[in-house]
Amino acid sequence: MTQTLTSESAAPLPPMGTGGFLRWAWRQLTSMRIALILLFLLAIASIPGSVLPQNGTDPIRVDDWIENNPTWGPLLERLGFFDVYAAPWFAAVYLLLFISLMGCVLPRTMTHLRALRSVPPAAPRRLDRLAGFRSMTDARLPEQVLQSVADGLRARRWRVASGDGWVAAEKGYLRETGNLLFHVALVALLISVAYGALFGWRGNVIVRQGTGFSDTLTQYDAWGGGRLVNPDNLPPFAFTLDEFRVEFERDSSQRGSPRLFEAEVTVYPMPGAEPQGQTIRVNEPLLVDGAKVFLVGHGYAPVLVVRDALGRVVNDQGVVFLPQDGNFTSTGVVKAPDARPALGIQGLFLPTAAVDEIRGPHSIFPAPDDPAVFMSAWTGDLGLDSGVPQSIYRLDTANMTQLGLESLRPGDVWELPEGTGSIEFAGIQRWASFQIAHDPGKEPALISSMLALVGLMLSLFVRRRRVWVRVTGNAQGDTVVQVAGLMRSDDADLEPDVTELVDILAEGKPVSR
């Protein structure tokens, strides 16, 4: 009599328990499927760090982005999208991926080490069921045939084992070695990136021609360092920007593109050291005391001499104007809180000025062929005493009164209305933007990436396969030789290996391919 079990009569499964749940969670986390999902999530999580400005590299742009997007800006800031690589959710994905890879790699490494020490398995009794099966006769004794095959396979770097009437050989262990190398290199890459993020730092600074920079935190326009970096221990070097040279294409289809883009600097590796002349180009950074100084941008700094109502000079320096397009139409601000009355100036600098009814004032070429400054002067409360941080490139005119608009050529002077002062366009300076970075994890990350590529190539192009030879005697006194092979992928790939075995048997010695 057969009893049929139903869902009502089946015994309930025992509860998993805490230990069982932890074992199940560990198996899931260390599976290759979860590792791939986490790697995909890490790639997605990195997208905001490339699309949105980051506090570590450009806090000014972050503030501008938040101010221009009052709805999304504060929300994204709370979620850490402007400091992605230090956000808790990014660290969570990063650490889970690291644990998952370690859980995948370590057991497979031990299994692979055992396989490297083991011998190929004995030949199956029914070789005719395997791929590439061949059968032939040989006049030599079975021992001679097996010895010839074993010698020929060893000469071709096969791992060989023999037994009573058979020879087994295996090749392609580098496939699994490459697979493990790829995953180990990924782990090393994660460690390198984490090391660089913890101990690395980078900052940006704009230096006007004729002025200098010292590697201290207060000198940077923007600076970001790892959590284990002490800003007081920055390398004590300094440099001055002696000359900035740039030339633009004028006659080709690349009109306006820079042909020459380099900065001549005098470097002081440490206090009291002999100065050294160096040239910094776009792809040729300056290396000093473990830090690299990259040339990342340039622009113009019109020299605006500002006098107040008392005739005092409240500004006579070049003012950094930021480019807004490829022809270096640039905007800048002068703030003179000590003037009587306090003055603020918004300016538009045009290296090669042009004015039309549609675009208004704009530059038609990046070189200073016909420079001009279009200015708007204001007086009143600059908002500097409110305690709220303010960008040096933006003028808060909420509590100010506009004095007027004017355009100046080099040498022109604008006498402000009501005797509030004057502005003179005295000349043009250049400025260069530098990024100073120390990334100790970059070299290990590069080596890890190269090893990962090597491992990937091995896992893709090396074939793991086995071949067997079995010999028996027949009634005529000849030796019957059976040859076959096995591989996890396409059986057709075994044909060259089986043919090689046949050639060894035919000639009785190793054959060069």
Q: State which residues form the domain around 27.
A: 21-112
What's the CA gap between 306 and 320, in Å, rounded?
Answer: 15
Three-class SS of residue 12? coil
**Residue 453 pLDDT:** 94
In this structure, the answer to whether residues 253 and 374 fall within a common structural domain is yes
Q: Which residue has the higher pLDDT, 432 or 67?
A: 432
In this structure, the answer to whether residues 294 and 408 fall within a common structural domain is yes
**Residue 511 pLDDT:** 36
What's the CA gap between 204 and 223, in Å, rounded?
Answer: 6
Query: What is the residue-averaged pLDDT of the chain?
Result: 86
Rg for the chain (alpha carbons), in Å?
Answer: 37
What's the CA gap between 465 and 482, in Å, rounded?
Answer: 17
Phi then psi dihedrals of residue 232, to 5 deg: -75, -15
Q: Which residue has the higher pLDDT, 380 or 388?
A: 380
**Residue 501 pLDDT:** 79
Helix 495-507 and helix 142-155, axial crossing angle in degrees, nearest 10: 130
**Residue 1 pLDDT:** 45
Per-residue pLDDT tens for 284-319? Answer: 999 998 899 999 989 999 999 999 999 999 999 999
Q: How confident is the model at residue 282 (pLDDT cuts 50, 70, 90)?
A: confident
Q: How confident is the model at residue 409 (pLDDT cuts 50, 70, 90)?
A: very high
Number of domains composing the chain: 3
In this structure, the answer to whether residues 388 and 493 fall within a common structural domain is no
Strand partners, 406: 375
In this structure, the answer to whether residues 277 and 413 fall within a common structural domain is yes
**Residue 266 pLDDT:** 95
In this structure, the answer to whether residues 397 and 489 fall within a common structural domain is no
Query: Is the residue at 46 inside a domain?
Result: yes
In this structure, the answer to whether residues 279 and 332 fall within a common structural domain is yes
What's the CA gap between 360 and 459, in Å, rounded?
Answer: 61
CB burial class (10 A; 0-12, 13-18, 19+) of residue 211?
A: middle
Three-class SS of residue 230? coil
Per-residue pLDDT tens for 198-245? Answer: 899 988 899 999 999 999 999 998 888 888 888 888 999 999 999 999
Q: What CATH number is attached to the domain comprising 501?
A: 3.30.310.80
In this structure, the answer to whether residues 282 and 206 fall within a common structural domain is yes
In angstroms, the first-to-last Cα distance of the chain is 68
Candidate from 57-66, 180-189, 327-336, 473-482 with smallest mean pLDDT = 57-66
In this structure, the answer to whether residues 156 and 99 fall within a common structural domain is no
- The sign of the dihedral angle between the CA atoms of 95, 100, 103, 105 is negative
**Residue 513 pLDDT:** 32
In this structure, the answer to whether residues 82 and 151 fall within a common structural domain is no
In this structure, the answer to whether residues 421 and 294 fall within a common structural domain is yes
In this structure, the answer to whether residues 318 and 275 fall within a common structural domain is yes
What's the CA gap between 365 and 363, in Å, rounded?
Answer: 6
Preceding omega of 337 cis (within 30 degrees of 0): no
Q: 57: Cβ–Cβ under 8 A, 6 or more apart, which residues?
A: 202, 204, 222, 224
Q: Region 125-149: what's the mean pLDDT? A: 86
Query: Is the residue at 445 inside a domain?
Result: no
